[in-house]
Amino acid sequence: MPKMKSNSSAKKRFSFTGTGKVRMNPANKRHGLVKRPQQMKRQTRGTEIVADVDAPNIKRYQLPYGDKFQR
């Protein structure tokens, strides 16, 4: 079997925690911030953990070798 390729856009958007969870940056923080509520701007600071239903797809198909090298 040949090696699988990692998705290049996923490499830039996701990283892994030490326990193997998928980490991401929240959306809606680039422009148009004047019309967004202050609470929304506060909640999108930092990073978030990807939802449990989406994480297996990212690990298996988009970044198949990502979490193996993080530990």
Dump pLDDT digits (tens) for 18-69: 899 999 999 999 999 999 999 999 999 999 999 999 999 999 999 999 877 6
Contacts of 66 (CB under 8 A, 6+ apart): 6, 11, 14, 15, 16, 59
Reported confidence tier of residue 70, pLDDT bands at 50, 70, 90: low
Residue matched to tokens 């892994």: 16
Query: Residue 67 has what pLDDT?
Result: 74
Give the Cα separation of 70 and 15 in Å (integer): 9
CB of 2 within 8 A of CB of 64?
A: no
Give the Cα separation of 11 and 7 in Å (integer): 6
